[in-house]
A and B are shown apart, each in its own frame.
Chain A
Amino acid sequence: MRLEYFQMIDRIETLDLGEGRIVCRAVVPERSTIFEGHFPGQPLLPGVLMVETMAQSAGYLVLAKNGFSRMPLLAKIEQAKLRNFVEPRSALTVECELLHEGSGFAVTKGQIRHDGQRVADAEIRFRTMPFPSDDLRALLIETARGVGMDADALPVEAAVGA
């Protein structure tokens, strides 16, 4: 995780487009300015960032499913449960599945596990919209490639350039 850059996902471990499922790895850094406030002397990953971690993982899945043709934007969080505390240096497994791909939206379900135990889960809905710029699309493709998205899941022009 690069918390200050809002980059929660370190690595895409598995991406199954047929099954509509993704598994990502996210390691909470040892230090971050966020921990100076949350909380002094008792650093914990804020719950909203656990939700964001699931949203980013699910976002990669939605992007891959639609061939990076549309940008997923967080629209709704349902049934979010933050079941346990997450401390610095925790290695998290983030699993998400696509429940429904609608016209202009996508519905996903995510969960985070730590040491085999579920620490958070939620249903996350996205609006999917045209990218506001080609530059942003290119940046997201590069970011996805950087965290290990398989060339098969990237748009053809990006895969060719890999």
Chain B
Amino acid sequence: MSDTFEAVAEVIADVSDIEKSEITLDSHTINDLGIDSLDFLDITYAIDKRFGIKMPVEQWMEDVNEGRAEAEHFFVMKNLCARIDELVAAKA
């Protein structure tokens, strides 16, 4: 998890104007960090490449919009990293 967090925070800092030091495990990527949809697209691409996965962001959004999950389940940093770890594990 900590390696994943470091990598994801690095990606976010690289793509957006957010300082890496501002990003914590409890940061909500949209509500707290204010990442917009275009930057999120770039971040998703960078994470996909870095971890060799395809983050199912659209499915996540659908789950949130349909009330099947809370946005925090996907978009708070510690949970986002957990989802990434799950995708990496599923790939192995």
Residues of A within 8 A of B (CB): 75-76, 100-105, 107, 125, 127
Contacts of B57 in A (CB 8 A): 102-104
Contacts of A101 in B (CB 8 A): 54
Query: CB distance A100 to B49 under 8 Å?
Result: yes
Residues of B within 8 A of A (CB): 38, 41-42, 44-45, 48-49, 54-59
State how many angstroms separate the Cβ of B37 from the closest Cβ of chain A.
8
The CA-CA distance from A105 to B42 in the complex, in Å, is 9
Known: A76-B38, A100-B48. 11 other contacts (CB 8 A): A75-B38, A76-B42, A100-B45, A102-B44, A102-B45, A102-B54, A103-B56, A104-B57, A105-B44, A105-B45, A125-B41
Chain B CB within 10 A, most for which of A100, A103, A127: A103
State how many angstroms separate the Cβ of B81 from the closest Cβ of chain A.
17
- Residue ID in chain B nearest A106 by CB atoms: B45
